[in-house]
Amino acid sequence: MAGLLLYNYITNHLTPMTLPRRYLLRTFGLTAIGTQLLPIAQNNLFPKSAIEPRRLQVGDTVALINPAAFTYEKEVQNFFKVLDQLGLKVKLGKHFYDRYGYLAGQDADRAADVNAAFADDSVQAIFTGMGGWGCARILPLLDYNTIGNNPKIIMGFSDITALLLAIYAKTNIVTFHGPLGVSSWSPFTINYVKKVLFDGGSVTMQNSKTMPIQTIRRGTARGKLIGGNLSVIAAMVGSGYLPEWENSILFVEEVSEEVYRIDRMLTQLKLAGILDKISGFIFGQCTKCEAEKPQESLTLSQVFTDLIRPLNIPAWYGSMTGHIRDKFTLPIGKEVEIDANAGTIKLLESAVN
């Protein structure tokens, strides 16, 4: 009887996009399915408005996990020093130094570290060590019910985009696009981490004078800030792990991709209807994105003219976001006001409570 009721709930409330097929195959006669499906089935219990996680304070403990690619111990030694300077304690995920090919361990183990960090009452925030690839593989294994009932700061960028967007989409918890454990943690970067994660409040992010912007279309706009790595977002289209795009400000960044690939991925977002829903667009840095044969390639500016300008929304290129030394900390899911003339992103309220 319980299995039939669960089956009826699934078929009436969940779509194939939100429910992996293997769960349906296990519906009858398997007690385990209750725990497998509960995190997904209970998503509607969370508030529709963004949930701000608790702000960081001196003395807090942060979990350091590797949900994507593996990292060598020497690559994060400087990060431990940075955490100490910020007055934070660190608790390594059980599988942080695991390795399975290019991944930081098996999918189930990497997912377990994410789930454990949210469930651990001694942990106040979660930082990630490395990007690379792997987060999308663990999205179906995450316990979104536990995550949603234990809002915490989680931060990273690059491949961590998949994790940040999925958690926000499934729980409405604000997540943070910011430095990884292997990042440079420059004074500029640390300053924005402090402003956004520790101090809170209305923060305005503006490029340093050495990093000019290129306005694609002038104007100002307001909306929910959503985005991350362009190739990761494009790969997630149709997965059921992306948030709603209506009236959002889309920001993207990329690394080591030729111009035609940027064109292809933005075109995919256009064909998927995403670009037609947003109210503003920000392209951060495109690091090492030079065309192999410049004489046979469009420029990035031409791609933006072809695909972004016709949207008639404020847009610019060159924000200090991405695979660069100095970077902003951007809250995914919070209302912001952007100015494409000045290249600024203003948080309209604190992203933490």
Q: Could you give the residue numbers annotated as active site?
A: 158, 253, 323
3-state SS class at 183: coil
Query: Which amino acid is present at 288?
Result: K
> Hey, CA dihedral for 162, 84, 95, 74, is it positive or negative?
positive
The Cα diameter of the chain in Å comes to 68
Paired with 173 in beta bridges are: 51
Cβ-based neighbours of 200, under 8 Å, separated by 6 or more: 55, 350, 351, 352, 353
Query: Which amino acid is present at 324?
Result: I
Cβ-based neighbours of 211, under 8 Å, separated by 6 or more: 318, 320, 326
Sheet holding 125-128, edge to edge: 89-92, 61-65, 125-128, 153-156, 175-177, 330-332
The Cα 257–Cα 5 span in angstroms is 48
- b/e map of 239-253 (b: 16 or more CB within 10 Å)? bbbbbebeebbbbbb
The HSE-up count of residue 243 (CA atoms within 13 Å, CB side) is 33
